[in-house]
Structure 1
C-alpha cells in the first residue's frame, strides 16, 4: 500500500488551534497528512528566509508579502483567508474593569501593566497608544510576549494585568477572563493569509488542502475559533 503524502506547514500562534482542528477534519476526508509548526510570525519568516522549507504557509498578510518578495513563497499564491479580531483579557480573579468604550479602555490601560504580541496586532496596539498620546508614558508598563509565550500566559501568570491578543488565543485559557473585543473606534483586526512554499512538493495535494481551508466546510470551524472567513465578507 502506498504511503500517504505528507504536507508540511508553518503558521503563527494565532491560528494554531484553528489549524489543529482543520487538519483533523481534513484527515477524515483525505489520505493526505498535514502537519503544522506554529511559531511567532516574525520567527516563521526568519526560519523560511534562513532556508527552512514548508509546503503551506499561513501568516499575517504582511509576512506573506515579505516571503513573496524574497521568493520563499510562490509568486501569486498568496490568498487572504481569515479575519481575526484582537480582544482584551485579564486574570479570572481580577477586579472588573470597564473597557467597553474608547475612553474607558484608555483609562484602564493607563492604570495597568499591559501585555501585547509581536507581529501586526502588537504594532497596531502601539499605534493606538501613540494616537492617544500615552505611548511614552506606558513604555515601562508594556510587556511584549517573548517567542513561544502567549499573551494569555502572561495574563494567567500575573506578569501583566491586561493582555491584548487575537480572541482565538485568549479564549478557554485557564485563569484568564476575556473582557471582549476592542471597542468601537479602536478595533484591531488582523488578516491571515495562505501561500505555497517555493520548495513545496506534491503540489496537487497542497492545493487540495488549501481548497479545503477556503471551503464552506472549513468556515464552520473558523467561526468556532472566533474568526471569520474572508470570503464571507
Structure 2
C-alpha cells in the first residue's frame, strides 16, 4: 500500500479520466496515493474559504487567478485540458437534432425539462445562454436544477428528458447517452489547469503528479473521456 499521499481538488469534468485511468497509473509508478476531492469550481472555492487543505487543484483556469494573487496557489498553473458542453438523453431515447442554433432552440423549447447544475461552469453558462437567446421564460421555469453533481442522473430518475453539462461529465452517467456538443457558434470551451498549493510548491510528489497529468501519456486518458488536451499543456 502507498505510504505517501497528496490531496487533489478537482472539478467534475476531469473525474472520469482521473478515476478510470490516471490515479492507478501514477500510484503504480511512484507509490504515491492521490486523495481526490471533487466539486464544481464554485464549491471548491468555498472549501478553500473554510480552510480545507489541498496540494493540487484542477479548476477552470480563470478561477485560479485570484488564488495566485492571494498566495494560495503558486505561480504558473499548468493548463491540461479543455472541455465543451453538450446534451444527453436517457439511454435508448430518441436523439434530437442539435446541430444548428435553430435546431438547439427548438429542442430546448420542446423539452419537458432540461437538467443543469446551478454551481457548475456549464450550468452557469447555460442560464446565461438561455437569456441571450431570449428563451429563458420558456426553458428555465421547467428546468430541473441540481445544486451540483452529474446532471444526467436526472435522466435516469425521469426528472428530465435532456441534460446539459460538460461532455466528459455526461459520459460519467451509465444511464445516459450523449446527443452531441452544442453548435460551435454557441459552444463554451472551458480550460482547466493544475494549480499547485503554495504550501506544497516544494513537494516533489506534487510536482511529479502535475508533470504526469500534463504528459503525452495522460493525453489518451483525456481523449477517451471526452476531454481535449490543451496543446500548450500536452504535446502529443
Distance apart, 1:183 and its partner CA: 1.7
TM normalised by structure 2 equals 0.89
Question: Residue 120 of structure 2 aligns with which residue?
Answer: 119
Note the alpha carbon deviations across 1:186-229, whole angstroms, 9 max, x for none.
11211111101123276111111101111111111111111111
For 1:172 and 1:122, the matched residues in 2 are separated by: 17
Measure, in 2, the Cα distance between the counterparts of 1:79 and 1:170: 25
Structure-2 separation of matches of 1:91 and 1:180: 13
SS at match of 2:199: coil
| 1:10/1:38 contact within 8 Å kept | yes
Q: What are the superposed Cα offsets for residues 108-140 of structure 1, whole Å, 9 maximum, x if unpaired?
A: 101111111223222222222122111233231
1:80-159 superposed matches below 5 A: 80-112=79-111, 113-117=113-117, 118-147=119-148, 149-159=149-159
Residue 7 of structure 2 aligns to a residue whose secondary structure is strand
Cα drift, residue 55 of structure 1: 0.4
1:56 aligns with 2:63: no
Secondary structure, in 3 states, of the residue corresponding to 2:198? Answer: coil
- How many residues were matched structurally? 229
Q: Hey, what's the Cα distance between the residues in 2 that align with 1:64 and 1:120?
A: 14
Map of 1:1-233 to 2, 5 A cutoff? 4-20=3-19, 21-74=21-74, 76-112=75-111, 113-117=113-117, 118-147=119-148, 149-171=149-171, 173-200=173-200, 203-231=203-231
Q: Report how far residue 153 of structure 1 moved.
A: 0.6
CA distance in 2 between counterparts of 1:31 and 1:93 reads 42
Partner deviation per Cα, 1:118-169 (whole Å, 9 max, x = no partner)? 232222222221221112332312233223x310111221111211111111
Structure 2 unaligned residues grouped into runs of 5+: none
C-alpha root-mean-square deviation of aligned residues, in Å? 1.9
Which stretches in structure 1 are left out of the alignment for 5+ residues? Answer: none
Verify the 8 A CA contact 1:23 1:35 in the aligned structure 2. no
Mean Cα deviation higher: 107-116 or 85-94: 85-94
Compared CA separation, residues 107 and 34, structure 1 to 2 (3 A) = same
Structure 1-normalised TM-score? 0.90
